[in-house]
Structure 1
Amino acid sequence: MDADRELRIRTVHGPDNTRTVLTYKGPRVDDASGSKWEAETRVEDADAAHEIISGLGFTPRIRFEKRCRNYTFERDGRQLLATLVRVPELDATFIEVETAAATADGLAAALDTVRAVLADLGISEADLTTEQYTDAVAAART
Structure 2
Amino acid sequence: MMADRQETAPRILLVEDDCETAAYIKASPMFAHMEIKAVANGNQGCDLALDEQWDCIILDRRLPGVDGLTILTTMRAVNVQTPVLFLTTMDGISDRVIGLKSGCDDYLVKPFSMAELSARLDAILRRINSRNQETSLPLQLHFLLSSESMGNHD
Normalised to the residue count of structure 1, the TM-score between the two structures is 0.28
Larger Rg: 2
More strand, by proportion:
1
Q: Which has the higher contact order (CA 8 A, sep 6+)?
A: 2
Normalised to the residue count of structure 2, the TM-score between the two structures is 0.27
